[in-house]
Amino acid sequence: MTREKLKKWCCYYLLLWLGAFICIGVTQLTGLSIRPIVELVFRLTAYFYPVSIMGYSIWNMKDEESFRNICFGIYLAVFFLITVVFILFLILPMKMERRMDCGYLQITDSSNFPDADIHFFAEPKALLFMEYFDWDVEHDIYILEYKYNTTFTVAENRGDGINRYSPFEHPEIAVRVYFRDIYGIVDDYQYQLTSNIALKYYREKGLLWEYRHVDDYEGNIGFIVKDDDNLEQYAQDLASMVAEALKDPFYKDNVGWLNIGVAENTWEMLAFGDYLPFKENGISPDFYSDDQNVLNELKKWTKKR
């Protein structure tokens, strides 16, 4: 490698470090943090850039071939040992980031290995940076609005310290967020809406089928199928509930579940709306609005008791 080319590569390397110091300065002034992916790229580049140039220079030495090969062999051995140390102590302990669909970042800290990983959440800022946050009303509303493509407002406080949110189309519902991770959130919007529609139909028609609250989510109910129930009539009513629910635009883009209790602590579900297995198998979203299809399921489920 010529001296001029070496100077050029050294200048590039100095620019890399200059950029790193500028980023550190920005974090000191703004309180932001450098994104793990940016830090990972910097560490890998800062390490492999000079050692690659060194290896290239040794390989292109103009000395005797045997001497060059000995030098290059020593270089490879040292390179291997140092790289192992570099990965073990400077790469593996790093925080790692994964991007959520809504744009937030999930940051995983594995430095306490073998203890469980610690997860944080952050908002990306100006491509290279991020700002950590604790989940609060603002972030819950943001991810709910992203998920359902509608407006949410804070619901009436029930005095239990839990935040709930009402969608614009269904202000009577108070949606609760139960869990947040890289895949998004787990909430009870669908369960509450489906249960509300089913109960409204149930009361309007004066039905007498047994139902009760299902513990997993607030406002989520299930209908109990008992041994002496008329399955044909039950199937007609359940199919009508599904048909009534499908009138709501919500189910064009979301799946609905109607809970059916067929044995002690055993629940089955009638799916409808935007249900992926239906789409994959060419089944209509309103498959269970047909009482015969519901009846077939009820007979199958009750046979297992």
Q: What is the pLDDT of residue 68?
A: 87
What is the predicted pLDDT for the residue at 100? 95
- Number of C-alpha atoms within 13 angstroms, CB side, residue 223? 26
Q: What distance in Å separates the CA atoms of residue 136 and residue 81, rounded to the nearest whole number?
A: 46
Strand-pairing partners, residue 34, are 129
Predicted confidence at residue 247, as pLDDT, reads: 97
Residue 74, number of CB atoms within 10 A of its CB: 11
pLDDT of residue 305: 64
Contact 297, 270 (CB under 8 A): yes
190/275 Cα distance (integer angstroms):
13
Could you report the per-residue pLDDT of 229-243, keeping only the tens digit for each?
Answer: 999 999 999 999 999
The predicted pLDDT at position 4 comes to: 83
**180 C-beta neighbours (distance < 10 Å), count:** 19
Give me the pLDDT at residue 115, please.
76
How far apart (Å, rounded) are the C-alpha atoms in residues 248 and 274?
Answer: 12
User: Which pLDDT belongs to residue 3?
Assistant: 76
pLDDT score at 116: 75
210-263 residue pLDDT tens? 999 998 899 999 999 999 999 999 999 999 999 999 999 999 999 999 999 998
Q: Give the model's pLDDT for residue 245.
A: 97
Q: Which residues of the chain have pLDDT under 70?
A: 1, 113, 305
Query: What angle separates helix 36-59 from helix 65-86, to the nearest 10 degrees?
Result: 170
State residue 64's pLDDT score. 77
- pTM for the whole thing? 0.86
